[in-house]
Amino acid sequence: HEADAYRTDLMTITRYVLNEQSRNPEARGDLTILLSHIVLGCKFVASAVNKAGLAKLIGLAGETNVQGEEQKKLDVLSNEVFVKALVSSGRTCVLVSEEDEEATFVDPALRGKYCVCFDPLDGSSNIDCGVSIGTIFGIYMIKDKENVTLEDVLQPGKNMVAAGYCMYGSSCTLVLSTGNGVNGFTLDPSLGEFILTHPDIKIPKKGKIYSVNEGNAKNWDEPTAKFVEKCKFPKDGSSPKSLRYIGSMVADVHRTLLYGGVFLYPADKKSPNGKLRVLYEVFPMSFLMEQAGGQSFTGKERALDLVPTKIHERSPIFLGSFEDVEEIKGLYAAQAK
């Protein structure tokens, strides 16, 4: 019976990744070990986020907790945990974090063959009001282990070997792809294990939801304005789409992945490259969308084809259901003519 199977045949994320990697003859288990350290970081953040309100972990730095200790901001704390977990894994050589101005080059004695770009706690401005937040990560293989440079992380997103996010909400859900589809795992706090709950996620080809900060409408370019207008006042007599915008990328993207629709953070007159960061927001989410049968577009090109030149550079992003993004691409192509 289904429930019994869950209770006895536990498909943990570790077992899932091991199974998947064992099918790859040249795999030496390095990615498996790296992912297990990322999972550890997510478990730590999940427990810290859940305690946040109680231990005064939220809000601005300088808060003192019940013990009167100087309390670090949750995103600073999360960043430290992830950096330490990734370095100690012995499988990484360059790290790019939203929290650190410069890339971290791992001590040669501890170097491995992967680069990790991550946002340890994306949407952290939402912590104080209890809105879901998340960790986002993307993983590259370095080009030459003997000669490690910033070029190893300035690769187009299509070179990523794995990407994922962990959403800290009503439940803690980790969504992961290592290039063979997308799977979702839910943390069972009683076991401290992520269990497979969403096997082989596929995004609906078309959706009834659009997700954008309408507050920026004054500054949008014409193709974006036309697309949003079409969502609200369809010309073909179909019913208008629903607007759902949480303002926390992991939450908005997770809903888009499961329910379909499109998430947009377009360029506008004030921010010609939009707001979201290429290496640790746009690329990982675009990788997942393509692996789930959706697509992701920058307004100019396929998001994963973009070649970054700076580690914190931004890009406009339109991602989600294949057909919805196709419509947006048509509007931009018409403008380009």
If the CB atoms of residues 96 and 148 are measured against ligand P6P, the closer one turns out to be 96
Nearer to ligand P6P, 159 or 213 (CB): 213
Give the residue with the Cβ less far from ligand P6P, 116 or 133. 133
219-248 residues near ligand P6P, rule: CB under 6 A: 247-248
Distance (Å, whole) CA 27 – CA 32: 9
Q: Which of 20, 75, 122, 290 binds ligand P6P (CB under 6 A)?
A: 122
Binding-site size, ligand P6P (CB under 6 A):
9
Site for ligand P6P in 275-294 (CB under 6 A): 275
Binding to ligand P6P by CB under 6 A, coded x per residue (else -) over 124-153, reads: -x----------------------------
Site string for ligand P6P, 8-47 (x = CB under 6 A): ----------------------------------------
Question: Is the Cβ of residue 81 or residue 264 nearer to ligand P6P in the bound state?
Answer: 264
Q: Is residue 123 within the footprint of ligand P6P (CB under 6 A)?
A: yes
Is residue 249 involved in binding ligand P6P (CB under 6 A)?
yes
CB of 88 to ligand P6P, least distance (A): 28
- Sites of contact with ligand P6P (CB under 6 A): 122-123, 125, 213, 247-249, 252, 275
